[in-house]
Amino acid sequence: MTVFLYGPPGVGKTTVGRMVAARLAWRFVDLDALIVSRTGRSIESLFADGEAAFRRVEREVCRELAREDHLVVALGAGAMLDADTRDRLTRHHLVVCLTARPATLQRRLKSGATRPLLSGRNGREKLARLLADRAAVYDGCSEQIVTDGRTPAQVAASVVSLLKMRALRIRRLRQRIVLGHGLLDQLPALVEADDVRLARPTAGRMVIVTDRHVQKCQGARFPTGVARVVIPPGESSKSFGELRRVARRLVAAGLDRGGTVVAIGGGVVNDLAGLAAATFMRGVRWVTVPTSLLAMVDASIGGKTGIDLPEGKNLVGAFHPASLVAIDPLVLGTLPAEEWTAGMAEVVKHAVIGAPDLFSALERGRRFGAIEDLAEVIDVKRAIVDRDPFERDEREVLNLGHTIGHGIEAASRYRVRHGEAVAIGMVGAARLSEELGLARRGLAARIERVLGAQGLPTRLSGVSASEVRAAMGADKKKRGTQLRFALPAAIGRVVTGVEVPERTLMAVLKWGRE
């Protein structure tokens, strides 16, 4: 892994980069200085041939740097305008955007003489246009560090802190959750350290379970010499057929009761590999490395595993906690946009349940994605599961949006993604809460606006209310014939075990049609 520092001109990338490299004992590279060294020409001279010509040289040098590790690179202020460069750097490396107010940048720049795009007259106006033109790229970086009123040493310390591993625990499940940039590259050492922590008498073989998409995007980072089981991507893999195939591959790989199943993938891989680990030789240890936002903040936490039946979702499964959950935000650099969006449904759900400040921040348009954001959302579920690991009472709040959501998934034959279905289900749950007098009017509208701002659907489409209601009949949370709902009473408070009159439920489902 390499650390790339990005941001507008005058933000201090080179100064901070040197300090970060010194603290890490990594090599420092100033991109512009390297380009000057390679070409034998000044930046101003290269720009004189046209910005496009300079960007071509810049792109080629960035490609070379993306193949190296343990560097700290100060990027030029426009380096990530190129989509190919942006993709290469964010796939496997940590990109940190340093930010500052325009007035701060102007004061630091003083003169644009050595900044080709800011040279000449009207420097303030040129800087304002440059910031506006590049705002989307700057804002697109998950890790942002504000430099206003801070010394370069303080900013450097903040960058270094991003490389430190965060650790959480669900003590009652003996589950350890670690977050850190680049953890996938450290997987064998993490698994071995976890093995020592559990005081296991023997360490057996390790087998990786993943899917074809993750294998293609992240397979080069997997430990070498480790057997792999690769499943088809998608919800259809949560089946008895795939469970049988995975189990037979574990036998062929020589996995014994002292071995470890390592799930690397999204929620489907997590649920299937976890159930395989729960049932293989009556239960073996497993480790999960979630690669989707949804899996990081929800599916991997708390020990639920399962597969689907035609009648409903997750109807066959077991509580079998992974001993270690290793969350590496760098893998999100290869996540398709639609999968990120689906994962934001679970982020919003956790905010509604137990992080009202985060919900308010999302209402104000705050971007989510920094490692501290992930830790905050994960901690909501971690704390609940630690108090109620086997869903006897309080853990039922985590089903917010899921009773309707699972019905939507089943009725659509899983064409609707889990996160999308949960988003629609959350709005429906909030409407039910209002109709039953548990919540004030307007709560559903607030939740719907936040979900919509994330690009999530909030109304039924492609399936009828009656089809969804029929699919909800197989929900595993019902008691006898009666469905029981988790409903939001307010942001930060969810009530569970609520029985809803049939007429009210159907009215809300029909209201939710597009």
**Mind giving me the DSSP string for 20-47?**
HHHHHT-EEEEHHHHHHHHHSS-HHHHH
514 — pLDDT class (breaks 50, 70, 90): low
Q: What is the CA radius of gyration of the chain?
A: 25
pLDDT of 482:
83
**60 pLDDT more than 80:** yes
Q: At what angle do helices 418-435 and 337-354 cross, to 10 degrees?
A: 30
Q: Give me the CATH topology for the region 166-334.
A: Rossmann fold (3.40.50)
Average pLDDT, the chain: 92
Average pLDDT over residues 152-163: 98
Q: Do 166-334 and 3-161 fall under one CATH topology?
A: yes
pTM > 0.85: yes
Domain borders along the chain are 3-161, 166-334, 389-511
Is 50 exceeded by the pLDDT of residue 343?
Answer: yes
CATH topology of domain 3-161: Rossmann fold (3.40.50)
Task: Confirm if 208 and 229 have CB atoms less than 8 A apart.
Answer: yes
Query: pLDDT by residue (tens digit) across 383-418?
Result: 999 999 998 889 999 999 999 999 999 999 999 999
Reported as a single tens digit per residue, the pLDDT across 254-283 is: 999 999 999 999 999 999 999 999 999 999
* C-alpha–C-alpha distance, residues 490 and 385, integer Å: 21
Map tokens 């050492």 to a residue: 189
pLDDT band at 53 (very low <50, low <70, confident <90, very high): confident
Architecture in CATH for domain 389-511? Up-down Bundle (1.20)
In this predicted structure, the answer to whether residue 50 has a pLDDT above a threshold of 70 is yes
**Per-residue model confidence (pLDDT) at position 46:** 87
Q: Give the pLDDT confidence of 104-150 residue by residue, as tens digits.
A: 998 888 754 456 656 666 667 888 888 898 998 998 899 999 999 99
Dihedral pair phi/psi, residue 19, rounded to 5°: -65, -40
Quickly tell me which residue has 């001279």 as its tokens.
Answer: 45
CA distance 477 to 391: 10
